[in-house]
Amino acid sequence: MEKDSKGKLIPRDLMPDLPLLGSIKAGTPASTEEQLLDTMSLENYLVNDPEKSYLLKVSGDSMIEAGINHGDLVVIEKDKEPKEGDVIVAYIDNEFTLKYFQRKDGKVYLMPANRNYSPIYPKENLTIFGTVVSVIRKYH
């Protein structure tokens, strides 16, 4: 086990590497052969920097057009400077939310990914708590 800068243990390699057997078309069906291309760690694929990352469970439907649904888990990376269009965890006017980070005319605002919701402009304060780097959904 490794330790972070504060001496806390960093869990690593909790899951075994899984075989990567190829790719699959999501459009028109095509023939494909199963072949072992490689193995990969889901931990390394989903989490860029374990020391700066945490999970949140999504509640609500304001990000469904971004493919983030109610009940999904999102991997958040702290201290990552958001770029326009990144999905972020924001503390805006004393409430937390998950939205797209946007700028217009030098002003920051939050944009939902659902036509039923309006953009949110900070009235008092806006603090960014991290950027979404992965979405995890379990079907069954």
Residues noted as catalytic: 62, 99
Instruction: Name the token pair of 47.
Output: 């989490």
Give the CA angle between residues 20, 15, 37 to the nearest 5°.
Answer: 10
Residue 132: Cβ within 10 Å count: 22
Residue 134 identity (one-letter amino acid): S
Q: Is 88 helix (H, G, I), strand (E, B) or coil?
A: strand
Burial label, 24 (beta-carbon count in 10 A; 0-12, 13-18, 19+):
exposed
User: Checking DSSP bridges between strand 87-92 and strand 2-3, what pairing results, if any?
Assistant: unpaired
